[in-house]
């Protein structure tokens, strides 16, 4: 919630701090259900028409998949369904969102990726513990994952980004961890990357995922409790299996018990998983029966889509693999052609204008010196660079930079002073002639920003009665692009208009508008 302080400029500051203390020892946690289905139902309540659309798509997918499986089984004869021969490698990015994101190490992320790949390929060592009577349905998925090597804008990355937040723990009810405006971080292009958010979750949740046809493209991916990563502190849930489970949802798998509260009428839409009354807690050996499967080999508590302890989760079935593969090719096929895992090839000469650091949106003097960050994206050491500033398509003001920037190094540069008149202006800054040569990549040379300058006044009177908002000489500074100042009519001390912020609808901390 934003608190309002009134002055010539309006400042909103939330003074409530929510911290997170790192735990030093293993914790025995009461396992709560994965929040995937809860989140989905919340979305349906927010948008009643979504449920009908989602159900139609699900039914269509299930019918099409059933026909494919029947055809494959008919053609395969006694051999049954086998794993596809083609391997699909998908770029994955881990967004670590915590008050202290260094609590999660690179080694943990690499270990988590290794667990995920082995679980999906069926090469996990613990598969040796699967009882022989379930061997015929043991599935090996063609889906594999690689750490992203480039960002959506072509920057070099290791596929791990750390974001410091004051908003924690996060809840699945608003997907806050997935949006910068609510203390999280926006996803990387969901058509090119599998986004995984690592954070602290409320109510002892271990994680949640998104189904591919849920109608929220900017929230696609998986969210995982950071203490469930390999070598995390959640006892029995710290071998990285949570991500394998949530990734199953991402590829259209449902809970193995059908989420029917023990009625035995629910379904996971997969024919080779035994009917199961409810989720499993703990870890078992041998045959385990329940009210839905009371004979034979019992229920498949070893499945990744159950809630067993991590040490007991060891397989996807063959038909679960078929379902995931078809979901990938039906809904997320663009992931298979993404260049996210392709390393960035550096040019010999490539200067980048990385950011415009100053001026900001509003300035108080008509003369100022822009401040920018430049980066050497080339292989050759950068020694000279021409940087030009243009105000409203006017005459460029040049600055000659000299220095010594090694490959991928950055420098903050204060440019030559420029002068503007009162009003709104657009500033364009671009770099050229690195080392007096030709820049081999022009896509990262130019940035623009808008600024406003008005001369100082002795007093301010504004009733917001005009047709234009903000009025001349006013602007709205809204860094997080979320709820901010707006004009309303019919509520005012005098006249007919006023400006408000809907403070009680806002949950982020420490933001200023």
pLDDT tens track for 44-59: 998 889 999 999 999 9
User: What pLDDT was estimated at residue 19?
Assistant: 36
Shortest CA distance to 287 belongs to which of 302, 272, 298?
298
The mean pLDDT of 145-172, rounded to a whole number, is: 94
The mean pLDDT of 274-290, rounded to a whole number, is: 94
Each residue's pLDDT tens digit, 440-451: 999 999 999 999
Establish whether domains 36-255+314-337 and 351-453 are of one fold.
no
User: What pLDDT was estimated at residue 14?
Assistant: 36
The model's confidence at residue 191, banded by pLDDT at 50, 70 and 90, is: very high
The model's confidence at residue 29, banded by pLDDT at 50, 70 and 90, is: low
Each residue's pLDDT tens digit, 450-468: 999 988 888 888 999 999 8
User: What pLDDT was estimated at residue 476?
Assistant: 87
Active site residue 246: yes
User: What pLDDT was estimated at residue 83?
Assistant: 63
410: which 2 tokens? 């950055």
- Write the CATH number of the domain with boundaries 36-255+314-337: 3.40.390.10
User: What pLDDT was estimated at residue 178?
Assistant: 96
The mean pLDDT of 157-175, rounded to a whole number, is: 94
The model's confidence at residue 297, banded by pLDDT at 50, 70 and 90, is: very high
**Mean pLDDT score of the chain:** 90
Whole-angstrom CA distances from 261 to 27, 37, 96, 277, 293 are 28, 13, 34, 7, 15
Catalytic annotation, pick one of 59, 155, 161, 246: 246
Please check the confidence at residue 493 and state whether its pLDDT lies above 90: no
> Rounded to an integer, what distance in angstroms lies between the CA atom of residue 308 and that of residue 242?
10
> Rounded to an integer, what distance in angstroms lies between the CA atom of residue 101 and that of residue 110?
16
> Rounded to an integer, what distance in angstroms lies between the CA atom of residue 315 and that of residue 127?
7
Each residue's pLDDT tens digit, 47-99: 889 999 999 999 999 999 999 999 988 887 655 676 667 999 999 999 999 99
Q: How many helices (H) and strands (E) does the chain have?
A: 5, 20
User: What pLDDT was estimated at residue 77?
Assistant: 64
**Global model pTM greater than 0.85:** no
Q: Are strands 11-12 and 143-147 parallel, antiparallel or unpaired?
A: unpaired
User: What pLDDT was estimated at residue 82?
Assistant: 66
Q: Give the DSSP H or E segment for 322.
A: helix 318-331
The mean pLDDT of 422-437, rounded to a whole number, is: 96
- Write the CATH number of the domain with boundaries 351-453: 2.60.40.10
The mean pLDDT of 211-220, rounded to a whole number, is: 93
Cα 39 to the chain's mean position, in Å? Answer: 16
Question: What is the 3-state secondary structure of 194-225?
Answer: EEEEEECEHHHCCEEECCCCCCCHHHCCEEEE
Please check the confidence at residue 277 and state whether its pLDDT lies above 60: yes
Name the burial class of residue 114, with classes exposed (0-12), middle (13-18) and buried (19+) by CB atoms within 10 angstroms of its CB. Answer: middle
> 494-501: long-range contacts (C-beta < 8 A, 24 or more apart)?
494/463, 495/463, 495/464, 495/465, 496/465, 497/463, 497/464, 497/465, 498/464, 499/464, 499/469, 501/2, 501/4, 501/12
Q: Which residues of 170-202 are buried (b: 16+ CB within 10 A; e: fewer)?
A: bbbebbbbbbebbbbbebbbbebbbbbbbbbbe
- 6 C-beta neighbours (distance < 10 Å), count: 7
> Rounded to an integer, what distance in angstroms lies between the CA atom of residue 281 and that of residue 295?
20
Q: Domain residue spans in the chain?
A: 1-21+457-513, 36-255+314-337, 351-453
- 428 C-beta neighbours (distance < 10 Å), count: 17
Please check the confidence at residue 25 and state whether its pLDDT lies above 60: no
Which residue in the block uniquely carries the two structure tokens 């509260």? 261
Each residue's pLDDT tens digit, 305-345: 999 999 999 999 999 999 999 999 999 999 999 999 999 99
3-state helix, strand, coil in the chain (%, to 5): 25, 25, 50
Each residue's pLDDT tens digit, 359-414: 988 898 999 999 999 999 999 999 999 999 999 999 999 999 999 999 999 999 99
Please check the confidence at residue 147 and state whether its pLDDT lies above 90: yes
């Amino acid at each position: 919630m934003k608190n309002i302080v009134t002055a010539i400029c309006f400042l909103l500051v939330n003074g409530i701090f929510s911290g997170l203390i790192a735990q030093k020892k293993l914790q025995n946690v009461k396992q709560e259900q994965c929040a995937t289905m809860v989140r989905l139902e919340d979305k349906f309540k927010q948008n009643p028409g979504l449920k009908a659309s989602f159900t139609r798509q699900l039914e269509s997918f299930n019918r099409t998949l059933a026909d494919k499986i029947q055809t494959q089984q008919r053609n395969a004869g006694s051999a049954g369904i086998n794993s596809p021969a083609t391997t699909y490698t998908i770029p994955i990015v881990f967004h670590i969102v915590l008050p202290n994101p260094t609590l999660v190490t690179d080694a943990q992320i690499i270990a988590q990726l290794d667990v995920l790949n082995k679980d999906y390929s069926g090469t996990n060592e613990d598969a040796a513990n699967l009882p022989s009577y379930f061997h015929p349905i043991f599935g090996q998925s063609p889906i594999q994952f690689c750490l992203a090597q480039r960002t959506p804008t072509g920057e070099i990355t290791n596929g791990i980004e750390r974001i410091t937040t004051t908003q924690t723990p996060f809840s699945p009810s608003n997907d806050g961890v997935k949006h910068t405006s609510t203390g999280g971080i926006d996803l990387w292009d969901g058509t090119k990357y599998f986004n995984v958010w690592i954070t602290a979750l409320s109510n002892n949740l271990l994680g949640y995922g998104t189904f591919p046809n849920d109608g929220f493209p900017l929230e696609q991916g998986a969210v995982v409790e950071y203490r469930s990563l390999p070598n995390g502190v959640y006892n029995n849930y710290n071998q990285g299996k949570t991500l394998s489970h949530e990734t199953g949802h991402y590829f259209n798998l449902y809970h193995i018990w059908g989420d029917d509260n023990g009625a035995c009428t629910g379904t996971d839409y997969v024919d080779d998983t035994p009917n199961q009354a409810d989720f499993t807690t703990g870890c078992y050996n041998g045959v385990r029966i329940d009210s839905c499967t009371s004979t034979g080999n019992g229920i498949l508590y070893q499945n990744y889509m159950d809630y067993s302890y991590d040490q007991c989760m060891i397989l996807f079935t063959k038909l679960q693999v078929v379902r995931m593969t078809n979901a990938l090719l039906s809904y997320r096929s663009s992931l298979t052609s993404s260049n996210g895992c392709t390393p960035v090839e550096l040019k010999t000469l490539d200067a980048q204008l990385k950011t415009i650091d100053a001026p900001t949106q509003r300035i108080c003097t008509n003369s100022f010196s822009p401040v920018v960050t430049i980066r050497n994206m080339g292989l050759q050491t950068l020694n000279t660079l021409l940087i030009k500033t243009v105000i409203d398509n006017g005459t460029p003001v040049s600055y000659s930079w000299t220095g010594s920037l090694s490959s991928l190094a950055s420098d903050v540069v204060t440019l030559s002073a420029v002068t503007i008149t009162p009003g709104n202006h657009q500033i364009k800054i671009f770099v050229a002639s690195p080392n007096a040569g030709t820049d081999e990549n022009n896509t990262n040379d130019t940035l623009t920003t808008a600024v406003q300058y008005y001369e100082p006044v002795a007093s301010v009177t504004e009733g917001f009665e005009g047709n234009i908002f903000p009025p001349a000489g006013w602007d709205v500074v809204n860094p997080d692009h979320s709820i901010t100042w707006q004009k309303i009519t019919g509520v005012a001390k005098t006249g007919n208009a006023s400006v408000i912020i809907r403070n009680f609808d806002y949950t982020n901390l420490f933001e200023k508008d």
